[in-house]
């Protein structure tokens, strides 16, 4: 086993002189980055904004993109992340030398492996994202829970069960107290977690999970202890050898004010998170990040990309609620505002195992992101309403998500339509700016929470 060398973001190397000059030199030889960003949400809009501002990026394509990403690059609406042939075709046609994968599905489906297997056809192509083995940390709850247990990473006590083990599952529920947490083993776009308030609801959820109502039929189900505490999201960029931590964030998952109503993909986010202090980050590094990266290496998994830690703080200590193999949405819309350094260089360093030479500089200002959704989301909703946007301002950016351009008009095309991300001297100030802009954005059925950033 090779030795895992961790370079922490706050412990800079003394040899700064060899850092980006050499990367720049290499870049001059090979040319600037021609990036293909895969995805179509607000997360990708925020990444596209930051990538397009990079001094080492020559060209940016977004596949398929949305009505707003064309402000930062060229949309390729016919290229789909899960159709690898279509991605390869775009790589050839546009002479792409870096693919950045936004959402989890293509990663779990093995887009990185697919291109690696065809390395001779794409000798100069870099891909930012983990391979399928690494993406299992998100793709399979049973795998990620077993991984955490194996490497002694703090997480809720759990067991996983196959459909034929219904009785054992019931016995395990007997050992826990309400509320009960049940998770489908497959990717379920945020719908795979059920928190059952009482035992009757837990039994019903268990049967539904095994029947494939939530996820795939015949899947395993993870049952775990309920952790009570405060949640936050931390993001690690790793090149497989070194890592750096991005600004942390907290998202607001429920649709309604004061965390009421059904879960959504996220209705807003803030960064920084008030309870995340240096001592907490240190615990996350030593108890979670480093054992995770060491564990991946011991398992023979070379993980290159972003690792998203969904954490619960319980009495000052961090526990992993979940791993994701990508950045968060809408957290990224707040996090990108707080990254002061060149994001293209981060991607380049990540792809070329030079993360130890990258200086992660954070903006001192706070950021808040407010999601504007279609009426009815996260249930069914009507699309196609015209959207009117205010003039751009320096302190607030509108990142589009579920939007589309049709006959010269911008129209709604999804549940989470767009988000407003603002800077402020404090989270509350940033939040205030988001609400001012949100009022100026007009479309039928506009719905948003009123308490984002009012921590």
- Interacting residue ranges for ligand GLY, rule: CB under 6 A: 251, 266, 324, 328-329, 331
Q: Which does 331 bind (CB under 5 to 8 A by kind): ligand GLY, ligand AMP, none?
A: ligand GLY
**Distances from the Cα of 115 to the Cα of 98, 140, 325, angstroms:** 11, 22, 18
**Distances from the Cα of 364 to the Cα of 52, 333, 337, angstroms:** 22, 16, 10
Give the Cβ contact number of residue 177 at 10 Å. 9
| Residue number, 4 or 455, with CB nearest to ligand AMP | 455
**Dihedral sign, Cα of residue 94, residue 95, residue 101, residue 105:** positive
The alpha carbon torsion through 59, 64, 69, 73 (nearest 10 deg) reads 10
Whether the Cβ atoms of residue 416 and residue 377 lie closer than 8 Å to each other: yes
Alpha-carbon distance of 198 to 177, in angstroms, equals: 9
Site string for ligand AMP, 191-230 (x = CB under 6 A): --x------------------------------x-xx---
| Residue number, 267 or 281, with CB nearest to ligand GLY | 267
Q: Which does 328 bind (CB under 5 to 8 A by kind): ligand GLY, ligand AMP, none?
A: ligand GLY
3-state secondary structure of 231: strand
Beta-strand pair 305-314/396-400: unpaired
| Residue number, 87 or 327, with CB nearest to ligand GLY | 327
Give me the numbers of helices (H) and strands (E) for the chain, helices first please.
Answer: 14, 22
The single residue among 253, 375, 405, 454 that binds ligand AMP, judged by CB under 6 A, is 253
CB of 3 to ligand GLY, least distance (A): 32
Alpha-carbon distance of 222 to 206, in angstroms, equals: 10
Alpha-carbon distance of 402 to 65, in angstroms, equals: 10
| Residue number, 322 or 342, with CB nearest to ligand AMP | 322
| Residue number, 158 or 443, with CB nearest to ligand AMP | 158
Site string for ligand AMP, 177-196 (x = CB under 6 A): ----x--------x--x---
| Residue number, 65 or 330, with CB nearest to ligand GLY | 330
CB of 420 to ligand GLY, least distance (A): 16
Q: Which does 156 bind (CB under 5 to 8 A by kind): ligand GLY, ligand AMP, none?
A: ligand AMP
Per CB under 6 A, 234 contacts ligand AMP: no
Q: Which does 266 bind (CB under 5 to 8 A by kind): ligand GLY, ligand AMP, none?
A: ligand GLY
Alpha-carbon distance of 377 to 447, in angstroms, equals: 9
Q: Which does 224 bind (CB under 5 to 8 A by kind): ligand AMP, ligand GLY, none?
A: ligand AMP
CB of 147 to ligand AMP, least distance (A): 15
Q: Which does 321 bind (CB under 5 to 8 A by kind): ligand GLY, ligand AMP, none?
A: ligand AMP
Whether the Cβ atoms of residue 318 and residue 154 lie closer than 8 Å to each other: yes
Q: Which does 193 bind (CB under 5 to 8 A by kind): ligand AMP, ligand GLY, none?
A: ligand AMP
Residue closest to 57 by CA, chosen among 98, 109, 12? 98
**Distances from the Cα of 181 to the Cα of 145, 165, 445, 448, angstroms:** 13, 17, 33, 27
- For residue 59, the number of C-alpha atoms closer than 13 Å in the C-beta half-sphere is 12
CB of 329 to ligand GLY, least distance (A): 5
Alpha-carbon distance of 252 to 328, in angstroms, equals: 12
Give the Cβ contact number of residue 232 at 10 Å. 26
Q: Which does 99 bind (CB under 5 to 8 A by kind): ligand GLY, ligand AMP, none?
A: none
What's the farthest any 2 CA atoms get from each other in the chain?
65
Structure tokens at 307: 């690792």
Angle at 420 between CA 363 and CA 187, to 5 degrees: 95
Per CB under 6 A, 231 contacts ligand AMP: yes
Which residues in the 289-328 window bind ligand AMP by CB under 6 A? Answer: 310, 321-322
Beta-strand pair 33-39/98-101: parallel
Q: Which does 398 bind (CB under 5 to 8 A by kind): ligand GLY, ligand AMP, none?
A: none
CB of 190 to ligand GLY, least distance (A): 6
| Residue number, 42 or 240, with CB nearest to ligand GLY | 42
Q: Give the count of residues interacting with ligand AMP (CB under 6 A).
A: 12
Per CB under 6 A, 94 contacts ligand AMP: no
| Residue number, 104 or 224, with CB nearest to ligand AMP | 224
Q: Which does 333 bind (CB under 5 to 8 A by kind): ligand AMP, ligand GLY, none?
A: none
Whole-angstrom Cα Rg for the chain = 21
List residues binding ligand AMP (CB under 6 A): 156, 181, 190, 193, 224, 226-227, 231, 253, 310, 321-322
């Amino acid at each position: 086993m090779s030795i895992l060398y961790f370079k922490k973001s706050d412990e800079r190397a003394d040899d700064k002189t060899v850092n980006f000059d050499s990367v720049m030199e290499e870049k001059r030889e090979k040319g600037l980055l021609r990036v293909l960003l895969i995805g179509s949400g607000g997360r990708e809009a925020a990444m596209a904004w930051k990538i397009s501002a990079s001094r080492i990026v020559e060209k940016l394509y977004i596949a398929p993109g949305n009505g707003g990403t064309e402000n930062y690059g060229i949309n390729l609406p016919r290229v789909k992340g899960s159709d690898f042939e279509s991605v390869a075709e775009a790589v050839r046609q546009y002479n792409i030398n870096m693919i950045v994968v936004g959402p989890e599905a293509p990663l779990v489906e093995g887009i990185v492996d697919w291109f690696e297997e065809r390395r001779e056809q794409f000798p100069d192509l870099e891909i930012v994202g983990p391979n399928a083995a690494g993406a299992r940390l998100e793709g399979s709850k049973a795998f990620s829970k077993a991984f955490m247990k194996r490497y002694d990473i703090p997480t809720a006590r759990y067991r996983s069960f196959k459909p034929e083990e219904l009785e054992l599952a019931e016995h395990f529920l007997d050992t826990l107290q309400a509320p009960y947490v049940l998770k489908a083993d497959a990717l379920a776009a945020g719908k795979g977690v059920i928190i059952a308030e009482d035992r009757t609801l837990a039994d019903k959820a268990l049967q539904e999970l095994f029947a494939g109502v939530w996820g795939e039929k015949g899947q395993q189900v993870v049952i775990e202890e309920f952790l009570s505490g405060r949640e936050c999201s931390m993001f690690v960029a790793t090149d497989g050898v070194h890592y750096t931590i991005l600004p942390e964030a907290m998202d607001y998952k429920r649709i309604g004010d004061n965390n009421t109503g059904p879960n959504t993909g996220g209705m807003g986010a803030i960064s920084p998170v008030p309870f995340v202090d240096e001592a907490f980050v240190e615990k996350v590094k030593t108890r979670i990040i480093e054992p995770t990266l060491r564990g991946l290496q011991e398992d023979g998994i070379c993980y290159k990309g972003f690792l998203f830690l969904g954490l619960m703080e319980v009495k000052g200590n961090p526990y992993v609620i979940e791993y994701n193999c990508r950045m968060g949405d809408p957290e990224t819309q707040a996090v990108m505002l707080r990254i002061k350094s060149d994001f293209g260089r981060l991607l380049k360093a990540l792809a070329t195992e030079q993360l130890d030479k990258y200086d992660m500089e954070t903006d001192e200002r706070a950021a808040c992101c407010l999601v504007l959704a279609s009426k009815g989301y996260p249930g069914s909703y009507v699309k196609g309403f015209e959207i009117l946007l205010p003039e751009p301002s320096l302190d607030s950016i509108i990142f589009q998500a579920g939007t589309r351009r049709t006959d010269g008009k911008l129209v709604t095309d999804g549940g989470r339509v767009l988000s407003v991300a603002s800077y402020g001297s404090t989270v509350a100030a940033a939040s205030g700016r988001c609400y001012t802009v949100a009022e100026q954005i007009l479309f039928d059925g506009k719905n948003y929470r009123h308490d984002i950033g009012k921590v």
